[in-house]
Amino acid sequence: MTNQASQATKSSQATKASQPAKATTPPLWLLAELTYQCPLHCPYCSNPVNMEETFNELSTSQWKKVFREAREMGAVQLGFSGGEPLLRKDLEELVAYARELGFYTNLITSGIGMTEKRIAKLKDAGLDHIQLSFQSANAEVNDLIGNKRHSFKQKLNIAKLVKAYNYPMVLNFCITAQNIHEIEEVMALSTELKADFVELATVQYYGWAYENREHLLPTKNQLEEAEQAVNRYRDQQDGVGPKFMFVTPDYYENRPKACMNGWGTTFLTVTPDGSALPCHSAKILPLTFPNVKDSSVQNIWEHDFSFNHFRGDDWMPSLCKTCDEKDKDFGGCRCQAFLLTGDMHKTDPVCDKSPDHHLMKTITDKAGQQTSSTLKFRTVKNNIPVKTIQDLTV
């Protein structure tokens, strides 16, 4: 099911703006997607394929209202994300305000656009933590995947600045079929850069990554070899150096992930235009989501139809409702169920009890055998030409 198809079904779903409160816990983790603008064009980006809200971003004061309301409800962690959050000139002001409210603040960045002056200003503003993404441990591959020349060199410099300014540093490497073979180099580079934590995150298939899944999904064999390499490296570390987290795609699993720790329980995402979502990908679903410009965070979290819709187990098909693992995985990912079956209420097909589980095998059997050579690079303005997979081959 494409995102275009999801739009077509959207209007067929009746939605109600306000419902009795079902939530018992506040949103602990607020993700502020400040902008969808980004200097990179990674074909695995999880941002929506259709970024029509790009030019209608919340103002500084509107973001402050969101932070204040979320904090009053008990939110404790605030991630500044995008796109590239450094493109917002008010980032330092927003970080300072969030710290004043008592949030633990985290900047999720490509590093492109960061300077020493800015990193110092962010430190003064009270920023707690920086997560820096790399596309590869190889300069040429890195620059090709992000479609930005010299970006690898800039990232190396930023990583050094992050350490020089005493931030805890998480490095994030998105692992795909294009770079999985270099996982040892990735770990060596992370050690050299003195990272504290390293996410070796095999891409999850939402947004642009879903569009390009055929090219990005590693084979089971590649994943097993990569995991063995990570384990060997960890054994040699002897407790010294970065902590590596290897995240595999759930496409090869038999049980679904507990996506978002359960819909509307822990995570709140606010998109650049102010849409409030229970997960970063939810806009693809045939639901109408509220906007923080029109309502308070508390009203949205507790009463909006879209937030209540998948809370608890009322919505579940009997397969999930009667399953003794329903409190572990909450029926899996709603976005994945919708993308793969066209029905957001179905059991996540990753689950081998699902009648749709065969879809996973159909997809994973095709890993490593691309039938098309077309690759879509993330773009807001449609100004990046469609490329072929050979463009990523060095």
Residues 186-215 that bind ligand FES (CB under 6 A): 206
Check whether the bond before 264 is cis (ω within 30° of 0): no
Min CB(255)–ligand FES separation in Å: 14
C-alpha 229/C-alpha 181 separation (Å) is 10
- Residue 252's SS3 state is helix
Q: Which amino acid is residue 102, in one-letter code?
A: G
Pick 139 or 201: Cβ nearer ligand FES: 201
Which one of 112, 279, 316, 339 is in contact with ligand FES (CB under 6 A)? 279
C-alpha 145/C-alpha 152 separation (Å) is 11
Which one of 81, 133, 271, 281 is in contact with ligand FES (CB under 6 A)? 281
Strand pairing of 129-134 and 387-388? unpaired
Pick 80 or 206: Cβ nearer ligand FES: 206
**Which range, of 18-26, 186-194, 277-285, 299-307, touches ligand FES by CB under 6 A?**
277-285
C-alpha 52/C-alpha 223 separation (Å) is 35
Q: What six digits make up the tokens of 57? A: 């971003």
Residues 327-346 that bind ligand FES (CB under 6 A): 333-335
Min CB(323)–ligand FES separation in Å: 18
Task: List, in order, residues 6 or more apart from 236 with CB less than 8 Å away.
Answer: none
Pick 241 or 331: Cβ nearer ligand FES: 331
**Which range, of 55-63, 210-218, 279-287, 382-390, touches ligand FES by CB under 6 A?**
279-287
- Residue 394's SS3 state is coil
Say whether residue 174 binds ligand FES (CB under 6 A): no
Name the one residue in this structure whose structure tokens are 């002897």: 238
Residues 227-266 that bind ligand FES (CB under 6 A): 259-260
- Residues contacting ligand FES: total by CB under 6 A: 9
C-alpha 73/C-alpha 68 separation (Å) is 9
Name the one residue in this structure whose structure tokens are 């039938």: 371
Min CB(281)–ligand FES separation in Å: 4
C-alpha 357/C-alpha 344 separation (Å) is 15
Min CB(334)–ligand FES separation in Å: 4
Q: Show the 3-state SS of 40-85.
A: CCCCCCCCCCCCHHHHCCCCHHHHHHHHHHHHHHCCCEEEEECCCH
CB 214 within 8 A of CB 364: no
Min CB(206)–ligand FES separation in Å: 6
Residue 225: other Cβ atoms inside 10 A: 15
Pick 97 or 251: Cβ nearer ligand FES: 251
Judge whether 45 is annotated as a binding position. Answer: yes
Q: What number of residues does the chain have? A: 394
Pick 182 or 304: Cβ nearer ligand FES: 304
Pick 148 or 334: Cβ nearer ligand FES: 334
**Which range, of 18-26, 115-123, 276-284, 351-359, touches ligand FES by CB under 6 A?**
276-284
Q: Which residues bind ligand FES (CB under 6 A)?
A: 206, 259-260, 279, 281-282, 333-335
**Annotated binding site, which residues?**
38, 42, 45
**Annotated binding site for [4Fe-4S] cluster, which residues?**
38, 42, 45
